[in-house]
Amino acid sequence: MTVPIVTPPTLESANPRVRSSYRPAIQFRESISPADIPAVQRIVQSTGFFSSAEVEVAVELLRERHSRGACSGYFFVFAEQAEQMLGYACFGPIACTQAGFDLYWIAVDPSFQGGGIGRALLREAERLISRMEGRRVYIETSSRPQYEPTRAFYLRCGYSQEAVLKDFYSAGDDKIIFVRSVDCAAGFDG
């Protein structure tokens, strides 16, 4: 599937990286290949948000999907252009729920952030979740100040903050849980 991404003029002037690196359309891919492992590792490391242990978890989920297929419970969507991976999302059904899904990871190469790729990936993941009869998407993130742009992104994409688990990751680092109904996602354009 090809999705045109339109970059507003104000975004280009605010983020020169986007202007020089940005291209007008991306392709989505769901299939997994061994070449995805180093690409995902590179993207997750390059964001500067994740510890080495977290990077290994991101890679391990991909390896698990590659070796076990859909039985792994992990599903991926990759955003590419000219066979270059720009970002990806990983999601899966939540055990013992009727229609709940977790969004485990969403990451965009920093060279391409700010151009709508993250939002397009999120919408594509929601579309795939809906196709799998999912109805609610849950996202967990940290309360650390570094994650403020991430939390703002989820709110802009129509997610609501549902819960805060105090000191979950460490003292002073809460887990914040966001949720969105997928049946509303189909009509969301912004």
Residue 118 contacts residue 125 (beta carbons within 8 Å): no
Strands (E) located in 34-185 = 75-81, 84-93, 100-108, 136-142, 160-170, 173-181
Residue 88 contacts residue 76 (beta carbons within 8 Å): yes
Distance CA 165, CA 183 (A): 27
Task: Give 97-147 pLDDT, tens digit per residue.
Answer: 999 999 999 999 999 999 899 999 999 999 999 999 999 999 999 999 999
The answer to pTM > 0.75 is: yes
What pLDDT was estimated at residue 183?
77
**Mean pLDDT in residue range 29-46:** 94
pLDDT at 59 > cutoff 50: yes
pLDDT at 6 > cutoff 90: no
Q: Dmax over Cα atoms in the chain, in whole Å?
A: 47
Domains of the chain, first to last: 2-185 (3.40.630.30)
In this structure, what is the dihedral angle of CA atoms 173, 102, 137, 159, given to the nearest 10 degrees? Answer: 20
Q: Secondary structure of 17-32 in the HEC alphabet? A: HHHHHCCCEEEEECCC
What pLDDT was estimated at residue 26?
87
Residue 99 contacts residue 135 (beta carbons within 8 Å): yes
What pLDDT was estimated at residue 82?
86
pLDDT at 159 > cutoff 80: yes
pLDDT at 14 > cutoff 80: no
**Mean pLDDT in residue range 23-45:** 90
pLDDT at 189 > cutoff 90: no
Nearest alpha carbon to residue 103 among 184, 188, 3, 179: 179
What pLDDT was estimated at residue 52?
92
